[in-house]
Amino acid sequence: MTERLTIARLGQRGDGIAQTAAGSVFVPGALPGEIVLAEVTGDRGRIVSFENSSPDRVEPPCPLFGRCGGCATQHVAPAPYGAWKREMVVTALAQAGLDVPVDALVAAHGEGRRRATLHARRTQSGVVVGFMAARSHEIVPIDACPLLVPALAAGLPAARALAGALTTTGKPLDIQMTATAGGLDFDVRGHGPASPKQRTALTGLAGRLGLARLSLHGDIIVQLQPPVIRVGPADLLPPPGGFLQATAAGEETLGGLVVEAVGKAKVVADLFAGVGPFALRIATRAAVHAVESDAAALAALDRAARGTPGLRPVTVETRDLYRRPLLGPELARFDAVVFDPPRAGAEAQARALAASAVPVVVAVSCSAATFARDASLLAAGGYALYRVTPVDQFLHSAHVEIVGVFRKTPQARPRRALG
């Protein structure tokens, strides 16, 4: 059914939202203030034509925008885009009952994304390699992406070559590529273990493609150069397929905010520490205890810390903080605690921190909703949320990073949203 829709606002995924008698209709590519003619199915609308155009509309930099699902907001001008991302954080905090000043969005795209995951599938017409279409399992072939660092440009043909060699089983593949100081680092998932013959062939292919390292499901097939990443003062060799912040500028921005927040603390806990983007920076001024469930990530952090002169002591502990959060007696020795959990947040650890007397807590999150939930738990325990900074390293997406700084004082009480 075709309907005339007036777009009222941008939704959390970047869709324009129109209010109708039947409820909200989500229209990708539409902006607030625009009137569109759209084909409506359920709560989704597809633009047929525009009656007017918003002054906030700009020309998308990528010709695949609207087909590729990697970006949602290339058509939005910078100022309203920044306001939209910041407002997502403000709204989440207000819904949790917290009235807290929120900084302006900090741009942290830098030179672009240093890591990306491509999808590959063999079809009747050949091997297709690219990103997924929005809300679909269709793969949109990618020859270039303006959001990637220049070094990953060579990764696209390399990914196609690897997919051609590995899709013979018919299984879909996920190909993670990372730009490092040593060259391109690839980890391929979905193929299963390689036979000795396949390992030999892949070793030769990796050499011809000039890769630093090639792995299957974290199993290193060949390493021709150490795929080193610079993390603060340290050179880090990440585990195959391991998690890294998407952009170098994003990691530097988040790390700088965290180091500033812990201030003059002498002993700091870094929880959900990963490969140490915060621990290795904090260790330039304080002793750090890093806790993480991923043993390979923690081992990489430990090696980097031991190989970097001038750092304060860094200790590591492999531990599942969802099942076994650090509790009061363990937390009592720290002057500050940093936690940076996955998207699900850190509810159990936040509850334990709320009951502690740690002077400073720094929460880093990639989800406004779970950040707000964990912040409300800390506020209920007497922590005041002094500063919230949204950071944008996923340009043109609906994702936003957040750094929140909490301090426990005798006067601290949860601050309730007005109204």
Neighbours of 101 (CB within 10 A): 9
Q: Are strands 383-392 and 401-408 parallel, antiparallel or unpaired?
A: antiparallel
Look up 62 and say whether it is catalytic.
no
DSSP 318: E
With contact defined as beta carbons under 8 Å apart, do 296 and 239 qualify? yes
Q: What share of the chain is helix, strand, coil (3-state, %, to 5)?
A: 25, 30, 40
The pair of structure tokens assigned to 148 is 């990637």
Residues 6+ away with beta carbon under 8 Å from 69:
131, 132, 133, 134, 135, 136, 140
Q: Which residue has the tokens 């325990």?
A: 381
Distance separating alpha carbons of residues 199 and 105, to the nearest angstrom? 46
Q: Which residue has the tokens 């409506």?
A: 40
How far the first Cα of the chain sits from its last, in Å, is 40
CA nearest to 102, candidates 89, 117, 119, 92: 89
For residue 269, give the nearest of 282, 256, 257 by alpha carbon. 282
Report the SS3 class of residue 107: strand
Structure tokens belonging to residue 204? 């030769």
CA-closest candidate to residue 377, choices 407, 398, 399, 346: 346
Q: Cα separations (Å) of 104 from 127, 259, 390, 399?
A: 43, 19, 7, 15
Handedness of CA 144, 10, 369, 105 (dihedral sign): positive
CA 369, CA 222: separation in Å to the nearest integer? Answer: 41
Please name the residue ranges forming H helices in 210-247. none
The catalytically annotated residue of 68, 71, 145, 366 is: 366
By annotation, the residues acting in catalysis are 366
